[in-house]
């Protein structure tokens, strides 16, 4: 027999539900956190002579993804925002250098200031050039900066299947147009695809030919690094090229959040495919 629809009955049902609320929460919350565990952020302080640089890792659902998202320039925040939105959806981990919101890192050693660009330290020639190009050069400073670069490579880069670097640039100063014709970066490029409908400041730079082909087919501005002629400036792309490590730099103008996010989304099927291949390749079995 159906209960009568009375105000008292409705109130009783509501009261019962309120009483059961802790029980419902207790049963559903663990399931929620299994499906959507909270992001975990940990910070490792790297100590130079007089300052600490924070290396911050944020794990979105997983800390062990074979894909590394990395932001080396602490003033390029749009790229971090885009990666965070993307990783919240897909899962994965992001490593960032935190240093006073500045691009370059400044240290003091025996009363001498030294400055270096943290994306020019991954080869010996790069370390020497970046230190010399700013305040001063010394072999002691070179040793410290090289040790820092090796720590970043050993802890975060080695063993990954794909590196996705996140950068922002300033309108018109450096763009995909720098890689064509008599542009300053042209000798570094093996192939360039330009979609005239895209802002030239928004583009992807890669060391990986299959990825270049995929992005060109998707009509995304893209540059393929020329391994034979690329200038050794010590950047992570040069290191990746020398070590056969698939590398992507997703580069957008400061503030182009939507555009940068869109480029990451276009990469998604490629990343998924690569991860699937990684899982399917048994240990000891090499793919071409
Ligand atoms: Zn940058």
Domain coverage including residue 96: 40-280
Ligand 1 centroid to Cα of residue 280, in Å, is: 34
pTM as predicted? 0.83
| 28 within some domain | no
Specify the pLDDT at position 216. 97
Q: Retrieve residue 13's tokens.
A: 């049902």
Ligand 1 centroid to Cα of residue 22, in Å, is: 48
Q: Is the pLDDT of residue 285 over 60?
A: no
CA distances from 194 to 184, 200, 221, 224 (A): 17, 8, 5, 12
| 24 within some domain | no
| 174 within some domain | yes
Residues 9-39, buried b or exposed e (16+ Cβ, 10 A)?
eeeeeeeeeeeeeeeeeeeeeeeeeeeeeee
Ligand 1 centroid to Cα of residue 171, in Å, is: 13
Specify the pLDDT at position 39. 82
Ligand 1 centroid to Cα of residue 250, in Å, is: 10
Specify the pLDDT at position 273. 87
Question: Cα(85)–Cα(259) distance, rounded to whole angstroms?
Answer: 13
Mean of pLDDT values over 180-199: 95
| 204 within some domain | yes
Ligand 1 centroid to Cα of residue 95, in Å, is: 14
20-66: pLDDT as tens digits = 666 665 666 555 555 566 788 999 999 998 899 999 999 998 888 99
122-140: pLDDT as tens digits = 999 999 999 999 989 999 9
Q: Which comes out higher in pLDDT, residue 172 or 73?
A: 73
Question: Cα(8)–Cα(64) distance, rounded to whole angstroms?
Answer: 54
Q: Assign residue 76 the CATH number of its domain.
A: 3.40.630
Q: For ligand 1, a single-atom ion, which residues have Cβ within 5 Å? A: 73, 76, 167
Angle (deg, nearest 10), helices 77-90 and 257-280: 50
Q: How many domains does the chain have?
A: 1
Mean of pLDDT values over 211-235: 96
């Amino acid at each position: 027999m159906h209960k009568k629809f009375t105000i008292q009955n409705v109130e009783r049902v509501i009261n019962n539900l309120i009483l059961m609320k802790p029980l419902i929460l207790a049963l559903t919350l663990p399931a929620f956190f299994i499906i959507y565990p909270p992001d975990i952020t940990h910070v490792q302080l790297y100590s130079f002579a007089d300052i600490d640089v924070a290396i911050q890792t944020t794990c979105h659902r997983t800390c062990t993804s074979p894909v590394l998202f990395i932001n080396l320039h602490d003033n390029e925040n749009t790229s971090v925002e885009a990666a965070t939105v993307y990783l919240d959806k897909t899962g994965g981990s992001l490593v960032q250098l935190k240093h006073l919101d500045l691009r370059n890192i400044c240290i003091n050693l025996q009363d001498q200031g030294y400055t270096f660009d943290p994306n020019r330290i991954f080869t010996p020639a790069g370390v020497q050039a970046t230190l010399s190009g700013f305040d001063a050069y010394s072999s002691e400073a070179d040793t410290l900066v090289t040790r820092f670069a090796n720590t970043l490579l050993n802890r975060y880069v080695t063993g990954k299947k794909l590196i996705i670097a996140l950068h922002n640039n300033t309108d018109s100063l450096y763009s995909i147009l720098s890689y064509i014709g008599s542009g300053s970066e042209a000798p570094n490029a093996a192939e360039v695809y330009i979609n005239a409908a895209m802002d030239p400041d928004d583009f992807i730079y890669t060391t990986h030919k299959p990825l270049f082909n995929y992005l060109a087919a998707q009509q995304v501005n893209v540059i393929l690094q020329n391994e034979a002629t690329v200038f050794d400036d010590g950047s992570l792309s040069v290191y990746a090229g020398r070590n056969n490590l698939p590398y992507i730099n997703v580069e957008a103008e400061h503030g182009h959040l939507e555009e940068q996010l869109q480029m990451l989304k276009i990469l998604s099927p490629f990343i998924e495919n690569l991860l699937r291949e990684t899982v399917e390749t048994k240990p000891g079995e090499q793919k071409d």
